[in-house]
Structure 1
Amino acid sequence: MKQLKRITLDPNVMGGKPCIKGVRVTVGTIIGLLASGYSNAEILKMYPYLVEEDLKEALAYAAWRSEEIEVPLATA
C-alpha cells in the first residue's frame, strides 16, 4: 500500500477509526455512501470540506483493507 496522505488513525478521534485527515468523517462513512449509490458529487455536496482526492483515497484504503489477512496469534 502506498503511503496514505489523507487518511489518519488516531485513537482520540472517532474511536480510532480511519478518518479523512483533519475532519471527523470516517472512511466507513464514505464507503457506505458510495455503496448506497451516492455519487462523488453528492458526497462532496453533503461534506463541502472534503475534496475528490479524499474520496479516492478512502476507496483505496478500503480496497487495501479488504485484502488484508488477519491471522490469530498462536496460543501457548
Structure 2
Amino acid sequence: MEYKDRITLEAGKRSGQPCIRGLRMTVADVLSYLAAGMSNQEVLEAFPYLEEEDILAVLAYAAQECA
C-alpha cells in the first residue's frame, strides 16, 4: 500500500503530526483506536469521513516509519 497520497504533514495542523488526507485525524489517533481493540470496520463506522484505504495507509506508514 502506497501511503504518500493519503498521509500528510502540515506544520500548523495537529502540531505537525502525520494526518490522514489533510484532515485533523492523525496516524496516531487511528493506531490508538486499533490498538485499543477496535476493528477497521468499527473505526470506519465511528468516523464516516475515513475510508478503508486510509486505515491501510496508516498501517503502511507506521510499518515503514518503525522499520
Using structure 2 for the length normalisation, give the TM-score. 0.92
Aligned partner letter, 2:33: L
Unaligned runs of 5+ in 1: 68-76
Q: Corresponding residue for 2:13?
A: 13
Q: Corresponding residue for 1:27?
A: 27
Alignment root-mean-square deviation, CA: 1.1
Offset from partner CA, 1:32-76 (integer Å, 9 cap, x none): 111111001100011100000000000100111111xxxxxxxxx
The structure in which a higher percent of residues are helix is 2
Unaligned runs of 5+ in 2: none
Q: Corresponding residue for 2:39?
A: 39
The whole-number CA distance in structure 2 between the counterparts of 1:22 and 1:15 is 13
Over alpha carbons, which structure has the higher Rg? Answer: 1
In percent, how many aligned pairs have the same letter? 45
Offset from partner CA, 1:9-43 (integer Å, 9 cap, x none): 00111100000013110000101111111001100
**More relative contact order, 1 or 2 (CA 8 Å, 6+ apart):** 2
Aligned residues: 66
The whole-number CA distance in structure 1 between the counterparts of 2:45 and 2:16 is 26
